Structures are given as structure tokens and as C-alpha cells.
Chain A
Amino acid sequence: EAGVTQFPSHSVIEKGQTVTLRCDPISGHDNLYWYRRVMGKEIKFLLHFVKESKQDESGMPNNRFLAERTGGTYSTLKVQPAELEDSGVYFCASSQAAGGRSEQFFGPGTRLTVL
């Protein structure tokens, strides 16, 4: 069974440009999460999808970030326009169930560098 995949693995862009990150969850996982680790700090939650609906987007930093999950399959996270402080590693995770002991399976992350 394929794990969570993320594309691209690395992205280097200039301040003011737009970048779109993609996450493909494990097949059958209704729950999809985005996290990010900025500047060596703690990994922070961004948002949680249940199928195509946003269950919790309390961690989205501002309106420059837009997450979508059309059809409840893969998800995209767009940053427009990117700022220097957006540099970091963006992780996607998925889980079959939510809550309790349900494990969140993480992807390898996308390393974003904004110059």
C-alpha cells in the first residue's frame, strides 16, 4: 500500500511568487491534515479536511494560504504571494479515522524556500 506522497519534495521561489503544494493521502483515508515546521520551530497544525470539507482550519496563518481538497482525494496548499517567513517544511498527513488511537500517517514533506 502506498503511503502519503507529497509533491514537490523541494521548492525554491522568490518572494511574491505563488507556489502550490500537493498531497496524495493513503487511499481510503477520509482525514487529511496539513502541518508545517518553520525555522526549526515546532511542527504546527494548519488544517484538517474530512473528505472535501474543512473540519478545522484554525492553524492557517493568514489569507495568503489556501487549501483545497476537491473530490475528497488529493489536496493542494497554495501560498500566494509567498513571503520569506513561509520558508519551512510542509507536511501532509492522513488517517482513516479521526480521534482516539487513530494514527496519522505523514508524508515526507515539501521543503519550501522563499528567497
Chain B
Amino acid sequence: AQKITQTQPGMFVQEKEAVTLDCTYDTSDPSYGLFWYKQPSSGEMIFLIYQGSYDQQNATEGRYSLNFQKARKSANLVISASQLGDSAMYFCAMREVSYSGGYNKLIFGAGTRLAVHP
């Protein structure tokens, strides 16, 4: 069965430092996608970054980068130069892709709550 594991219920980091949020996944499908979402206290889910299973390079989006280690089945999120506004819940998610294109649900991890301290 497909599964996403986030082992860090909470993390804290000093402002301007980098932080890594862990995510491991389990799937038997060779084709899949990995997502990270941010959920601030206001509740909305904000898409951060995407990594496809066949992507050769690690994904980057501004201060966000994804450390994708396929053999280890890990997709850790790295936030560089943390800001106070980065304090939020962070969810790792996986989507399995069916060749018919009809299987698109996201499977989420339990989330990691990040606190950025000044």
C-alpha cells in the first residue's frame, strides 16, 4: 500500500537558517509524483514544490528545494533562509499516476509543524 511518513511532528529553526523537513514514501508504482504543501494557521493549503519520479534533477522553487533520493524513497523539503512567515504545518504528499490517467488522489503524511524563531 502507498504510504507517506513524516517522522517529525514538530521542528523549530532560527530565522535566516536552513531547515530540512523529512519525508519518506512507499509505493510499488514506478511512476509517481511527490508534493509539498504548506498550511499556515489560516488553514489554506498552499502548494510549494513538485518532484516527479522520473525527474533527473532535484526540484527547486525559490527558497524551497527538494532533496530527492529515489533509492532511499525519501523526498525531504529544504527551506533556506527561514523567515517568520514560514511558521506553518507542512505536508508531504504523493500521487500515483495511472497510465489511463484516471488515478489522481493524493496521499498525505501526518505533517510537520515548523516554528521559526526570531
Residues of A within 8 A of B (CB): 3, 31, 33, 35, 41-45, 48, 50, 55-56, 58-59, 89, 91, 93, 95, 98-109, 111
Of the candidates A42, A45, A105, A109, the one whose C-beta lies within 8 Å of that of B105 is: A45
Contact across chains for A108 and B101 when beta carbons are under 8 A apart: no
Contacts A100-B33, A108-B43 known; A55 to B110 CB distance under 8 Å? no
Contact across chains for A48 and B105 when beta carbons are under 8 A apart: yes
User: How distant is B95 from chain A, measured CB to nearest CB, in Å?
Assistant: 8
Contact across chains for A105 and B52 when beta carbons are under 8 A apart: no
**A45 to B96, alpha carbons, bound, how many Å?**
13
User: How distant is B57 from chain A, measured CB to nearest CB, in Å?
Assistant: 14
Contact across chains for A43 and B91 when beta carbons are under 8 A apart: yes
Q: Is B29 an interface residue (CB 8 A)?
A: no
Contact across chains for B44 and A108 when beta carbons are under 8 A apart: yes
**A98 to B99, alpha carbons, bound, how many Å?**
11
Beta-carbon contacts of B33-75 to A below 8 Å, as 1s and 0s? 1010100001111110010100000000000000000000000
Q: Is B14 an interface residue (CB 8 A)?
A: no
Q: Is B8 an interface residue (CB 8 A)?
A: no
Beta-carbon contacts of B82-118 to A below 8 Å, as 1s and 0s? 0000000001010101100111111111110000000
Residues of B within 8 A of A (CB): 4, 33, 35, 37, 42-47, 50, 52, 91, 93, 95, 97-98, 101-111
Closest to A31 in B: B104
Q: Which residues of A contact B46 (CB under 8 A)?
A: 106
Q: Which residues of A contact B110 (CB under 8 A)?
A: 41-42
Contact across chains for B108 and A108 when beta carbons are under 8 A apart: no
Q: Which residues of B contact A31 (CB under 8 A)?
A: 104
Contact across chains for A56 and B105 when beta carbons are under 8 A apart: yes
Contacts A42-B109, A106-B44, A108-B44 known; A99 to B104 CB distance under 8 Å? yes
Q: Which residues of B contact A45 (CB under 8 A)?
A: 105-107
